[in-house]
Chains A and B, each alone.
Chain A
């Protein structure tokens, strides 16, 4: 699979979902797309066929508001039919605005920030107890790092030396009220996590090759969990959405939808050349 082109393909699905549903968190969806793309299409051993097998890799989307990106990836992976994407956030749909495990392919419900890391710690401890080879991945937002419970999980992950655990921060530097540095300073994540006993890797989080290399490196680390600071661009892929806090959860107008779709198709085509 051409991962780079696929990221733009997935963003088109995400734009469709949000435009049709008239709700969603498109800015964070677009910053996290490359991370989910690499995880589901290159790194993780998880398919609709092995999802109930105890050895499959686990994934928790702690920044649950980026669920549209997860829906796009899971759908492409065959966890549910494309038709279902049309029901996202619609009356009586199981595809709600945050992850829930009534949807095939989703392990844990999220939406309230600061839960996923500790849940992933539990999954990783279970893997160690049972001597299973699966790995556990969790993606957090950078605004989410203000939640104290994140640091309880960080402490436990380091304490238990969970080298089967890999956490990713979608470091897009924007949250609903402005920059993370304005709302609550999140600089020096590398140092912060290192002092909690984590192996830290900092990469361009919208570069699929750099992400892939980081996940590969994480697999080689023994005796400590890995934290990948994925430096991303909020709204990545659509010029007028990039780095704009206003696109945290704005719904595009028809004109914006058409323009965004045209840009994404163009970028997909260029990546395929």
Chain B
């Protein structure tokens, strides 16, 4: 079982870049430990800015730095970054078009029993609704690395959400197909197409194996690029299949499921089941317990697929 969290990989990539590029700047809001960015803060002291527990100025300061030529990476818990700083993201990053990469750490229900204040179950909806802001939820450590390397190359703002804990590998070091803003196809299916992002890709892959073994032809799209959504891949997968399942660690309102439904309804109508978190504070538990309670797991997807196919 992999023990390296995606956020640790982000730190590794940023340290590699910072070594060669003094314009790489990391900002934290008393979050260097939780973001696994302490090694960066200790090594590149001149390229690290601590703002204290102040998520609004975290984002504005990052934007000011970016306006003066820096490549800003602002890391803070996704719950605060996506809502407390939402207006700074909208105005200072997206509207002013500054090169700020917003790293939402411990996203979704990573903080488990800490409650709704610490959950970011609406961050996709919040961030994706901002004009010009891209939203990415990588599925594993290998894809996280590819994504961060790709993002380093551009000058546009983006929001990246990763979880708190290490997650199972989907890919390997040698086999991690990645094309920027294109979903990664993890098998094609003629019965069911599963579209997943972030930590839910693992459940999708496991469910696809169970379904395929039972003779239900199932494909999986790793839609790490929630915005811009890879609409071509969505249409292709829907066209090949009889029905579609979208699964995300997010409320079903305004997230990946909503976006996929818009595309499918307009282009290739199919029945779609959107699996996600409820429109309510989630139950108390670890993230695994929360997922299981809401059937956001292999068994839940298998059951949903069978129900869709009648």
Contacts and interface: CB of A to CB of B under 8 A. Distances in A.
Interface of A: 54, 58, 100-101, 107-112, 114-115, 117-127, 129-130, 148-149, 152-153, 155-156, 159
B57 A129 contact: no
B68 A115 contact: no
B122 interface: no
A93 B87 CA distance: 24
Contacts of A117: 60
A149 B174 CA distance: 46
Contacts of B274: none
Interface in B55-102: 56-57, 60-70, 72, 87-88, 91-92, 95-97
Given A109-B96, A122-B62, A152 B91 contact: no
A97 to B, nearest CB: 14
B46 interface: yes
B56 A125 contact: no
Given A109-B95, A155-B54, A129 B46 contact: yes
B56 A121 contact: no
Interface of B: 22, 25, 46-47, 49, 51-52, 54, 56-57, 60-70, 72, 87-88, 91-92, 95-97
B176 to A, nearest CB: 34
CB-CB nearest 5 A-B residue pairs: A122-B64, A118-B60, A126-B68, A152-B57, A122-B61
Contact of B60 (A54, A58, A107, A119): A119
B95 A100 contact: yes
B88 to A, nearest CB: 6
B61 A115 contact: no
B73 to A, nearest CB: 13
Contacts of A130: 68-69
A118 B56 contact: yes
Contacts of A152: 51-52, 54, 56-57
A119 B61 contact: yes
A54 to B, nearest CB: 6
